[in-house]
Amino acid sequence: MAADQIRVALIGNPNTGKTSLFNMLTGLRQRIGNYSGVTVEKKTGIWSLPKGQDVELIDLPGTYSLSASSLDERIAVDVLAGHGQSDQPAPDLIIVVVDVENLRRNLFLASQASELGVPMVIALNCWDVAEKKGLQIDCKLLEQRLAVPVVPTVAKYQRGTQELAEAVERAIDTRPMLVRPKWPEPVQKALDLLHQELVVERGESLREGELQRLIFDRKSAVRERLKSPAQEYEPLIKGVRDKLYQDGYQPDAAESLLRFRFLNPLFNDILERQALVKERSKSEGIDQLLLHKFWGLVVFVGMMYVVFQSVYTWAGPIMDLIETSVGWAQEIAANALTATPMLQSLIADGIIGGVGSFLVFLPQILVLFFFISILEESGYMARAAFLMDKLFQWCGLNGKSFVPLLSSFACAIPGIMATRTINDNKARMITILIAPLMSCSARLPVYLLLIGAFIEPKYGPAVAGTMLFVMHFVGALLAMPIAWTLNRTLNKGRKPEPFVMELPHYRIPQIQHTFFRMYESGKEFVMRAGTVIFAMSIIIWTLLYFPRPAEVESAIANDFGYAQTEDTHSLEYEESIHGKLANRVDAALLEQSYMGRFGKFMQPVFAPAGYDWKITVGVLASFPAREIIISTLGITYALGGEVDEASDDLRTTLSNAKWEHGKLAGKPVFNIPVALSIMVFFALCMQCGATLAVIAKELNWRWAIASFFTLTGAAWVAAVLTYQIGILFV
């Protein structure tokens, strides 16, 4: 990016459509959602203006003010002020994205930002909603009063691009500044005094807006940006604040009072409302049900139940289709490569077997994200947050923990990142530590495989769907006591704060957006199959295939009494003997492979949970990422000669698996207690390298390690209990 490139930042209150606008202008596809706190990082893109100039466009997290009480707001404020990690200068221009329905409150932020001396353009977004609700706004008059361009936009439907671009082109040259309040004399005096002492005498580079922060916000982050330690200025700042107090201005409250006193008259004759009442009462009616203490919960549980039931049933037929195709591919590859047995095994058993058994779960992922997208976009998710508030407070969490925890149901990584919106440090920490217990989409294939193989055939699809639903809350169940304990043992944080999340308006989800969300998650899933799963499949195949000493084969052949069969038998008999021998040899080779030996060595650890050495291998191989168990089981059984037909799916293979040795020999390895025990283990265990790295980054390594051992230990105990209790009933 050229050093002299113009930089334009999008700022505004949460959920006003900044990212939608960013996507519309840059053609990029950043995540949007109908609740506050979707964007928690700074994102940049290139916006080509009509006259040919390219500007760097910056999307920021939403913020209500420049006081920046949480990490994400801090990012926005730092960029605006030209401070922070990147140390880039302040943007050349800001576009303040304003929700037309909340003009006054939104312009409070614009007014604060203007005092940083940055030129601005205002985008009146959600103009379509204003039109629909009969809200008329006199933009020309507003523009005159504010002294900056005001452009109506509809980011959701890509309207207003041209007008906004033209306004920005002009503003780059004319540098329009928003009207600024005239402060009462005592306030102005306080500002002048600070300017004299800090800027003129001590050489601090602070703009007026930043001096205001020092006076009005006791905890302002501006203090950290001072060249000299803030303590040196403490007496001065305290003196200024005390003086203001004596003059009748409570410093903590004065700013909003004075700013609104200045802003309010600007709106005279600007707004006109017509017959809005009906619209409002409809959404209030819905909220009465959805936010009801009891019925709200009933609706929530019912809705989640429908989601998981649909994931199970809708995706089934397509899954079967993919499964059959994978079987074919394996057969074709195996037939084509008979001349080179090793390559044949690598391709058919290792790569197609490993990646294929994972890929069959793509339809379920798509269905799940279809629902997630609709629930998020409609505005329902934010309502669900309210329902959980009581429960959250009891665990020392914050209402704001809901969105991060909810995101963790897709993947803990964005979930943990989303905790940046939580301003109470202790609540943020607890949320990060329990986020990995929310059932991420990597666990979905594990549940689907085991439920499909052992629950559905016996109890039918309705019970299978219910089981899937229940499995998704096993982790959350353990999360509650963990949060409760952490809350009582960690250092005292701030007092629990009241819930501050704003209820978004209900919106009709856009079909393109839903499809994009599905496409995005589907792509990520397929990419994972093509990268992590592919690489791990090759590694695991290698460890399960080698070494291959010749003695193993001859020992088995002798043992089998093959030599005695002579050539007196029919061809069919010969073939079947050959097949059986080959299977025995495969099984023996597998057992003495590197991974086989390791699995057998470790198996006693998992024996109390009912696992044989193959499951043990699967569980251990999945520590970098949970989904690996699927491909590992696929490869293990393909190599072990237990797959009778190439088209046999993994579910059938698992249900046919038998114990080879010991007192259980000949009995099925998998039964319902074993399947449940594996699922419980995967629900709780910290099997995700990427999540650990994010925890280490957001907190520190000590916490990452502690959480690894705690969750893995808890998973083991819970898996053993599940199995031991389960076998009492079989």
Ligand X SMILES: Nc1nc2c(ncn2[C@@H]2O[C@H](COP(=O)(O)OP(=O)(O)OP(=O)(O)O)[C@@H](O)[C@H]2O)c(=O)[nH]1
For residue 372, the minimal CB distance to ligand X (Å) is 13
Note whether 222 binds ligand X by CB under 6 A.
Answer: no
- Could you say whether residue 152 binds ligand X (CB under 6 A)? no
The nearer residue to ligand X, 36 or 419, going by C-beta atoms, is 36
**55-74 footprint of ligand X as x/- string (CB under 6 A):** ------xx------------
Q: Left if phi > 0, otherwise alpha if psi is -120 to 50, otherwise beta: which for 662? A: left
Q: Which of 8, 9, 11, 38 binds ligand X (CB under 6 A)?
A: 38
Does 94 interact with ligand X (rule: CB under 6 A)?
no
Q: Exactly one of 65, 111, 125, 330 binds ligand X (CB under 6 A); which one?
A: 125
For 556-582, letters b (16+ CB in 10 Å) and e give beeeeeeeeeeeeeeeeeeeeeeeebe
CA distance 586 to 164: 68
Residue span binding ligand X (CB under 6 A) among the ranges 44-52, 122-130, 222-230, 396-404: 122-130
- Distance, in Å, from the CA atom of 322 to the CA atom of 343, rounded to the nearest integer, reads 24
Phi, psi of 35 (to 5 degrees): -160, 165
Cis peptide, bond prior to residue 547, ω within 30 of zero: yes
Among 11, 25, 130, 154, binds ligand X (CB under 6 A): 154
The CB-of-290 to ligand X minimum distance in angstroms stands at 17
Question: Using CB under 6 A, which of 507, 523, 580, 658 touches ligand X?
Answer: 507
Q: Which of 156, 259, 420, 626 binds ligand X (CB under 6 A)?
A: 156
Q: Of all residues in this chain, which one has the CB nearest to ligand X in the complex?
A: 62
Q: Which of 19, 423, 687, 691 binds ligand X (CB under 6 A)?
A: 19
34 contacts ligand X (rule: CB under 6 A)? yes
Taking the C-alpha atoms of residue 33 and residue 378, their distance in angstroms, rounded to an integer, is 9
CA end-to-end span of the chain, whole Å? 66
Question: Six-digit token pair at 78?
Answer: 């730092």
For residue 719, the partner it binds in Mg ion, ligand X, none, with Cβ less than 5 to 8 A by kind, is: none
Do residues 637 and 545 lie in contact, with contact meaning Cβ atoms separated by under 8 Å? no
Q: Which of 7, 8, 15, 221 binds ligand X (CB under 6 A)?
A: 15
Residue 37 vs 149, nearer CB to ligand X? 37
| Window contacting ligand X (CB under 6 A); options: 12-20, 317-325, 438-446, 702-710 | 12-20
The interface partner of residue 182, options being ligand X, Mg ion, none and the CB cut-off 5 to 8 Å by kind, is none
Entry field: residues in the chain: 730
Distance of closest approach, residue 440 Cβ to ligand X, in angstroms: 21
Inter-residue contact 443 to 683 (CB < 8 Å):
yes
| Cβ 257 to Mg ion shortest distance, Å | 30
Q: 271 or 337, CB closer to ligand X?
A: 271
Task: Using CB under 6 A, pick the residue from 9, 11, 18, 415 that binds ligand X.
Answer: 18
Residues 352-381 that bind ligand X (CB under 6 A): 377
Task: Select 161 or 592, whichever has its Cβ closest to Mg ion.
Answer: 161
Contact status, residue 128 vs residue 156, Cβ threshold 8 Å: yes
Considering only residues 79, 142, 150, 155, which one is a binding residue for ligand X as defined by CB under 6 A? 155
Dihedral sign (CA 392, 393, 397, 400) = positive
CA distance to 295, 665, 721, per residue, from 728 (Å): 37, 20, 11
Residue 155 or 191: the one with the smaller Cβ distance to Mg ion is: 155
Q: Least distance in Å: CB of 135 to ligand X? A: 13
* Span from 36-44, 203-211, 381-389, 398-406 in contact with ligand X (CB under 6 A): 36-44
Helix (H) or strand (E) holding 606: helix 594-606
208, burial (CB in 10 Å: exposed 0-12, middle 13-18, buried 19+): middle
215 and 251 Cβ atoms separated by less than 8 Å: yes
- Backbone φ and ψ for 159, nearest 5 degrees, come out as -105, 145
How many CA within 13 A on the CB side of residue 716? 13
Q: Binding segment for ligand X among 149-157, 307-315, 324-332, 427-435 (CB under 6 A)?
A: 149-157
Name the site residues for ligand X (rule: CB under 6 A). 12, 14-20, 32-34, 36-39, 61-62, 125-126, 128-129, 154-156, 377, 507
